[in-house]
Chains A and B, each alone.
Chain A
Amino acid sequence: MTSLAVKSLWARKVRALTTTLAVVIGVAFVAGTYILTDTTFAAFDEIFEDSLAKTSVVIGARDEVEQESGEVPSFGAAVLHRVKRVQGVRAAAGIINTPGGFFDSRGKPIGSRFAPKLIGSNRPPALESITYIEGHKPRDASQASIDEGAAEEAGLELGDTIRLASVERAKSFRLVGIVRLGDASFGGASIAGLTLSEAQRITGKEGEFDQIWVAALDGVSGAELKRRVERVAPPGLLVETAEQNAERNSNQIRDNLGFLRIALLVFAFVALLVGAFLIFNTFSITVAQRVSEFGMLRTLGAGRGQILTSVVVEALLVGLIGALLGLACGFAIAKGLNALFVAVGIDLPTTSLVLKTRTVVVALAIGIGVTLVSSFVPALRSTRVPPIAALQALEVPRSRRRGIAYAALASLLSVAGLAMVLVGLFGGANSGAAAGLMGGGTVAVILGVSLFSPRLVRPLASLAGLPLQRLRGLTGRLARENTQRNPSRTAVTATALMIGLALVAFVTVFAAGIKGSIATAVDDSFQGELVLRNSNGFSPISPGAAAAAREAPGVEIVSTLRATQAKLLGGDGGKPRVSALDRDAGSVLTIDWTEGGPETLRNFADREVILDKSFADGNGFELGDRVRFLTQIGRRPSLRVVGEFEDKADLLGSAVVTHGVMARQFDQRDDLLDFVKLAPGASIDAVQARLTRVIDRDFPTAEVMNQEELKQSQEDQVNQLLGLIYALLALAILVSLFGIANTLALSIHERTREIGMLRAIGMSRRQVRTMVRYEAVITALIGAILGMVLGVVFAALIAQPLKDDGFTLSYPVVTLIMLLVFAAVAGVVAAIGPARRASRLDVLDALHYE
């Protein structure tokens, strides 16, 4: 029976190949995700380890509240001379390692948009881990080095000018060294080196270090040296061995990028789910077509178990081959995903691709598991074939209660799924459980709809077929009738496409809502004509930018917003965002006060705080209560609540404090946003042009935007994310197109004689092609209609709890119509192969086909 399985698979190579492809794509996606993220993590680990190659102990400021932005506090340089005197220290040096911006001599940014650009300082030779592949280290305040990746990308050579920007005004340096660190590529990140004092000056850290690196004398272990250094270090500092530091960094990266792996696995799961539908359908159809073969085997004495075994072994083979191929393709997918990320400006470090045993095991388990599970029902059905089927053309017997049971199961799944989604949305569970509930609920609803969908095929096919019938009469009519002939087959094929398109519709509708909400928020909140912010959209900018703006003619007010994350003492351990505003912020921002008013801000004092209403309500704070935060540098300011606001734009975070408190207690001295209000009568364009000239020259990490540009840039970011999601969903949609092609090929195979007859009574090849093509188009449109309804309903549901935050749903009708057109075109593409085959059938052969 096993050899029969192999032979029957071999006899239907093309079909086996398409089925296998369904497994391959899903598995490759999973494997590629693991390979890519493992590689990225390995690259980070390499970078961390390589940079500390000669270092035994690392001293840094204790970071009480790790910031999402990755900013770490610096500390006073005085401790260095004490560390140097510790016994067993070979060398110790203060280090600067601060994010900044790099530009070539024409002001063009170097490196990709979202990757960090770090300004570093020279280390003494005993600690230096970078090698100079060209030139030498910077010797005075006019010289700089840069890493070879950045130099290559920007076409820089020794002697060229580069401009570096940080807290102080941007400055030009002469490139005197090109450096390399280890073997890993930095991706889009880059490092520039300066002398220590110049690095301290340009980053605004004169008399401060980001870290102190310590090298041990021979025979002194890192752990021992750490203990000795700890004795001289003040309590605000954290002393770690190099291994501990590298491990902490590595864990932090895994935490920060962990979402990436999960997100990619979600998309891989979608592709797998779609693949499972394809496998189920293919096996169902082949079992149905092999009824007489199974009957013949039964007459020869084969038992039910043997029939079952032969089908299961066939599935096992498909799964195994698919998993192995998928694993191999995983490398290509890993590269593809990386290229995709680079395209949207997320240029992650890479090293040689990492294939872990776990990846192999998971890929094999998933490939074989998915195939076995989805072929199980068809395999069981094959055992119900009676021997008499050998002699008669019989349908596979179906259990009588099947219809009712399916309908019941379908409703149960849909209702339960919907309930899970709603509980996930409104139940107040923590975010992990909520995501799980919503994900599980979504899958349940999809399964429910797909079980129910055979009943929807008839009306939907009539709907989708109507225009085709109008257009092409008979061929359109026949195409529609053909999709309705076996509704469950069409339904499974269409729902496979539905899954991908439902997600596309969902994110499309949701993104349209986000874009609309951003525009509304900007219109409602911003009174100032211009805004200064970092061109990457999230990092802080030098306070010098605001100062420069204040000097510019035509500018009346520049009001700044700084932000940091802190912990609420007695809170739930989350890291609410705390902002600082100028007292004149009321003239550039519209604040929706629920307690207090503009005068609250005008009289704002250092011991006071203004809270976001939902934050206050959630934590039971009222006017006059005291709120205590733990800040990044370990301070615990106690602040009195003097006002509350509603913040639909989520501009201010959970709490607002004065700039004084922000600087002293929260250690944030850089601006997130500067709001610029122009003097009456000043031309926006003229002031913007003037300001841009100054900013580009002195603070090039910042950019000057008017309200329209601000909206546009936010919209661009949403669009970019949308594009990324579309690209990731494309694989799932590709699988469902294979599904359409496969189902079509199998159906045509069944209808060979019928097509022969149609040709004999005068149907042309072209008409046969059209008929097959339209059948695919109708199937695709059924999937698209189901998907769009599902996607829009889900978007509307999920938008409900966000309504209070100013989220308004809008329906991008044009985009949704384009989606329908896309589905129709995709159907045409999927039908190319089957249509060609059908039209080339030899009339005589087809007529005599059994």
Chain B
Amino acid sequence: MQSVFGKYWSMKRENLRYNWDKARRMKVCYLFLLPYAVLFTTFIILPILTSIYYSFTYYNILEPARFIGFQNYINLVLQDEVFLTAVKNTFVIAVIVGPIGYILSFLFAWFINELPRWLRTIAVVVFYAPSIAGGAYTVFSIIFRGDAYGYLNSILLQFGLIDAPYLWLLDPKYILPVVIIVSLWMSMGSGFLSFVAGLQGVDRSMYEAGYVDGIRNRWQELYFITLPSMKPMLLFGAVMSITGAFNVSDVPRALAGYPSTDYAARTIVTHLFDYGFSRFEMGYASAIATVLFLIMLLCNKVIQSALRKVGT
């Protein structure tokens, strides 16, 4: 027994020494990595660690941080009802916009794959434009405005479908559906581009081989050939849409105002904004951020393990 353990650790030490020597010989490669590593550490790793640190303290910016342990987390989970509404809203938006947006992106990419090249380019620009033009969803705040002259209200009034303007963005009943619709519209993002590129890169000969082997229609071809060849793209698109769906806060904030009526459009990130920037309870806000980070990690792992099985 002793010798087995001894051998294991000595092997580990050998490995470590070997890798260290290799690293020292290839110093230049690490120098190439340095700019990206510095930026990544400063802008991603450090804020995450700082946020985790602050989540265990009580910190309003004017006084130094006071360590209070897990109190923030306990308050968050047990005492904050608005947080539960926020989680429910975020999950509703994420579950509807995430998968449906993902499937829609893929379907649109698949449909326009057939078009001639110039038409496909135009279609890609048309679909991707809302994501490039950053704040394009604010046009929906005009369309859905509760004014009698807001576009949707005035069209409905003109056709006699309603008799008084509906307050689409101020009535708790309608806020969430409106936000979901706008988020779906915005969901053709970088995932869509990666699908378009990936579909171009699929090997044509595999389709012919598949038809010889007995694939009968387009749907089977999609499931057995196209999807497995695009697995890296699928994973990337899934990661982007999951993080995007959980991070949804710009759209509710721009449309439904901040804070939204009766907290109907409160998502986790707007809740964080509220505690961080209106109430200046930075410790609590950091706790919310850490919880969101853990939820996203977990969902990512689940989705990735599910996607590894596609097509097999």
Q: Do A and B bind each other?
A: no
A residues lining the B interface (CB < 8 Å): none
B residues lining the A interface (CB < 8 Å): none
